[in-house]
Amino acid sequence: MAKYFELSDAKRDGLLNIGQAAEMSGVSAKMIRHYEENDLIPKPGRTGAGYRVYNDSDVHVLRFVRRARDLGFSMKEIKTLLGLWDNRRRASVDVKRLALKHVEELDAKIAELQRMRRTLTNLAEHCHGDHRPDCPILDDLSREHH
Amino acid sequence: MAKYFELSDAKRDGLLNIGQAAEMSGVSAKMIRHYEENDLIPKPGRTGAGYRVYNDSDVHVLRFVRRARDLGFSMKEIKTLLGLWDNRRRASVDVKRLALKHVEELDAKIAELQRMRRTLTNLAEHCHGDHRPDCPILDDLSREHH
DNA sequence: CTTGACCTTGCCATGGTTGGAAGGTGCACA
DNA sequence: TGTGCACCTTCCAACCATGGCAAGGTCAAG
C-alpha cells in the first residue's frame, strides 16, 4: 500500500488519474467517485495532494462495472457480481442464476412496454390527426379504466 | 370560488376528501398532492379546516392522469395532454403527434431491453451453471467492449 | 371525553446520473 | 517568477415518481 507523493511519479509507473481512468474505462469521473463512495469499487491510491491514482486492475474493474450497467444490472446486482468475480471458489451456478433472474426482469419490463405500445398505437390509429377537435386518444384517457 | 366551511356541508354536496378522491381515481393521496404541487392539476377547494375537497370534474382529471401514467407518459407530457384536453380549439393532430412520439420512445426502450436480454441469454446459455469456477458471463463482463 | 381514522405539512429515501460551486494542484509558456 | 488553463478535490442539489414517517389538527362514533 505504498503512497505516491507526486503525480509525475505515479504516471511514470503507468498509473492514471481519474480523468484518464474515466476515458479508458468508459465510466465518467463523476460516476467513478460515486461507485467508490458506495463501496462498489475498491478505494484507489492517492497522491500526496489527494489525487486518486488508478492501476490497470482498477480500470479492469471499472470496465466490468460499465459493461454490467450496459446490460442493465443494478448497482446492487453489480456488487454481487463483483463479489462472485473476486471469489476464487465462486460457483458459476450463482452467476447464472443472477443472470437468468435479470433476464426475467427484462422480460417483465419488455412486456409492460409492449402493452403500453399496443394500446397507444391502437388509439393513434383511430385518431384523425387533423384539426378537428375530436380525438379518441383524449377520449380514452378521460374515460374509466379499472 | 365558494369556500366550504364544513366538511359535512361539502359531502352533502357530493364532494370528496382526498382519500375518497384517491380511491375513486386510483391515484394515491400522496400523488394527488404531488400533482397539485407541480401544477399538473388545478388546486381543489378547501374546507375551513384546510381539508381538500374534490368534485366530479377533479376526479375526472385525476383519472385522466392515472391512465396517462399507466401508458407511460411523463408528468411533463401529461401536462401537455391536459392542456390539449382543456383546449376547445385543440387539434387532434397535436395529440396524435405526442402519442406517436411516445410510441417511438417506447420502441426505443423495448429495443434496448431486448438487446440486453439477447446478450444476457446468450451468455447464460454458455454458462455451465455448475460448481466449476469458469463462467463465460463473468469473462464477458471483464473483457473489453467498445 | 376518548378513540381511531382521517387530514395537514414537511422532510427523507430510493436509483443512476448529471450539474454546479468553491477551492487546490499540475504544468506549459512567457 | 507569474499567469493561465485544465484538471483535480469535496459538497450540495436536481431530476422523476413514489413511498414512508413524524407531528399535529379534525372529524365522527361510541
Cβ within 8 Å, pair A72-B130: no
Cβ within 8 Å, pair B91-A124: no
Which of the residues B80, B95, B130 would you substitute to probe the A interface, choosing the one with the greatest number of A C-beta atoms within 10 Å?
Answer: B95
Chain B interface includes A133 (CB < 8 A)? yes
Bigger pLDDT: B14 or B125?
B125
Question: Mean pLDDT across the stretch A114-134?
Answer: 83
Question: How many inter-chain contacts (A to B, CB under 8 Å) are there?
Answer: 169
Indicate if the pLDDT at residue B141 is higher than 90.
no
- CB-based contacts of A115: which residues, under 8 Å, 6+ apart? none
Question: Mean pLDDT across the stretch B66-70?
Answer: 92
Q: What is the mean pLDDT of chain A?
A: 86
**pLDDT digit string, tens, across residues A40-73:** 999 999 999 999 999 999 999 999 999 999 888 9
Q: Which three cell numbers stand for residue A108?
A: 417483465
Percent of chain B at pLDDT > 70 equals 88
As a rounded value in angstroms, the CA-to-C1' distance for B73 and D23 is 35
How many helices and strands (H and E) does chain A possess? 7, 2
CA B47 vs. chain centroid, Å, equals: 28
pLDDT tier for residue A17 given thresholds of 50, 70 and 90:
very high
Bigger pLDDT: A145 or B117?
B117
pLDDT tier for residue A114 given thresholds of 50, 70 and 90:
very high
Report the nucleotide nearest the CA of residue A35, measured to C1': C16
**Chain B neighbours among A 23-62 (CB < 8 Å)?**
60
pLDDT tier for residue B92 given thresholds of 50, 70 and 90:
confident
Say how far apart CA B8 and CA A13 lie, in whole Å. 79
Q: Which three cell numbers stand for residue A42?
A: 475498491
Question: Mean pLDDT across the stretch B94-104?
Answer: 89
Percent of chain A at pLDDT > 70 equals 87
Nearest one of B89, B101, B94, B29 to B62, comparing CA atoms: B29
CA atoms in the 13 A half-sphere facing the CB of B130: 4
pLDDT tier for residue A1 given thresholds of 50, 70 and 90:
very low
CA-based torsion, B68, B73, B76, B77: positive or negative: negative
pLDDT tier for residue A3 given thresholds of 50, 70 and 90:
low
Q: Which helix (H) or strand (E) holds B15?
A: none
What integer pLDDT is reported at residue A57 of this predicted model?
A: 92
